[in-house]
Amino acid sequence: MRHLYGDNDADSGDWVIRLDATPFASRWPAIALPRLLLDLLVDIAVTQGWQLARIQTRFVQRLNAERSNLLSRQKFVVYSLDTPDGLTIGIRNTQEWLALRTHPPLALLDTQLPVMLRRDCRAVGVSLDDCRLQALHWPANEVPA
């Protein structure tokens, strides 16, 4: 988090980080939430009489909802979920996630999806031309569970 967002050690307590510890992988997907946001979600759940079982990103929800075998044996796969409030790009080889990052929406970035896909691939030493592209879709009328 410090590397990506410039936080210092004094700010580290402001974040809650959870890992998806995958066996036999050297890199693990993680989610980082501002502690204030997590506290607010817990307070809302308590007030409404709900139990907060998990917090899942749209990207993970859509990845899990795909009916095909997304985690195939393709050498590299680049997954993307482009929504009005953010762009998430995940890059995976046959063994593990190489990158999983959420960016501001394309409209704010003033760029096109292929540019961002190439940029994220280049950051992990992969050529976009060597990848299978898999666009995930978030239906506008679908409300996440």
Q: Encode pLDDT of 84-140 as tens digits.
A: 989 999 999 888 889 988 999 999 999 999 999 999 999 999 999 999 999 998 876
Residues of the chain with CATH 3.30.420: 57-145
Asked whether residue 59 carries a pLDDT value surpassing 80, the answer given is: yes
- Residue found under tokens 């409300």: 143
Give mean pLDDT, residues 28-47: 87
Domain 57-145 grouped into CATH 1.10.287: no
The alpha carbon of residue 71 and the mean position of all alpha carbons in its chain are separated, in whole angstroms, by 15
Q: Which residues pair with residue 92 across a beta bridge?
A: 77, 97
pLDDT at 145: 47
Structure tokens at 26: 């050297």
Closest by CA to 130, choosing from 68, 84, 83, 78, is 78
Our CA angle for 78, 82, 86, nearest 5°, is 115
